[in-house]
Amino acid sequence: MKQVALITGASSGIGKELAYVHAERGGDLVLVARRKKELTELKQELKSAFHITAVVIAKDLSAPNAAHEIFSETQSLGINVEYLINNAGFGGYGYFHERSLDDYLDMIHVNIISLMLLTRLYLPGMIERRSGRILNVSSTASFVPGPLQAVYFASKAFVTSFSQAIAEEVKDKGITVTALCPGMVDTEFVELSGMGESNIMKHQKPSSPEKTARIGYHDMMKGKLLSFDNRMLKFSINWLVQLFPRKTILKILRKTMDKKSTHTS
């Protein structure tokens, strides 16, 4: 296999579109997600359209040993992962004290622990070859606290911070690390996280998964530290957020995430 990209969460949304972008460029793939049927169908589509090689690994990244099992399988197949794309992640809407603790633990394991473990497992090989690129899918949510999505926002803050720190450590070793920080994207994430009726969905038009994937992949290839798919959100994060007191930002974010109407009669 050549120019192999390992993509987690590859069965749908941004992960699936990233697989298409990489296959278009002639790169081979390791497709990882829970849903084996969807991964197998994607594998056949990409092989037929682009004549690439793809390997399917069906794993639930909330399981404690999943990352090590993925690494062991690629090692046993003699696969050198040139591009590590940590895309898998999920959120959850509601008051922190009311939601299931098990859901939070699974979220932390998928969004943080498995991402960190996969990076730790594959990075030494990249350093040895002095070649490799890592794309960690984060969110513009990573730059602010998230009332009603407290753990999700905090988990993405880890991803953005971690990615930039590792990027600095390996910048002289032929490796780049990029954090993709999209705004709202039109994927099943919205439905699964329970955000469908929140105010943010009424006022922000989601980006398409294809657009976000292409921007993220392009910026990974350029070796950018941060990648944004929404210029207005990028401007807001870099400039406007810094101008307001922290309590004001929290109040605005709470109203944005709430499912109650923001209009008064």
Show the DSSP H helices in 177-259 as ranges.
189-193, 199-203, 209-222, 231-235, 241-243, 246-257
| String of DSSP letters for 97-148 | TTS-HHHHHHHHIIIIIIHHHHHHHHHHHHHHHT-EEEEEE--GGGGS--TT
Type and span of the H or E element at 65? none
Is there a catalytic annotation at residue 152?
Answer: yes
Is 260 within 8 Å of 201 (Cβ atoms)? no
Total number of residues shown for the chain: 265
Question: C-alpha distances in angstroms, 24 versus 21, 58, 105?
Answer: 5, 23, 36
Of these residues, 83, 122, 152, 217, which one is catalytic?
Answer: 152
Residues with catalytic annotation?
A: 152
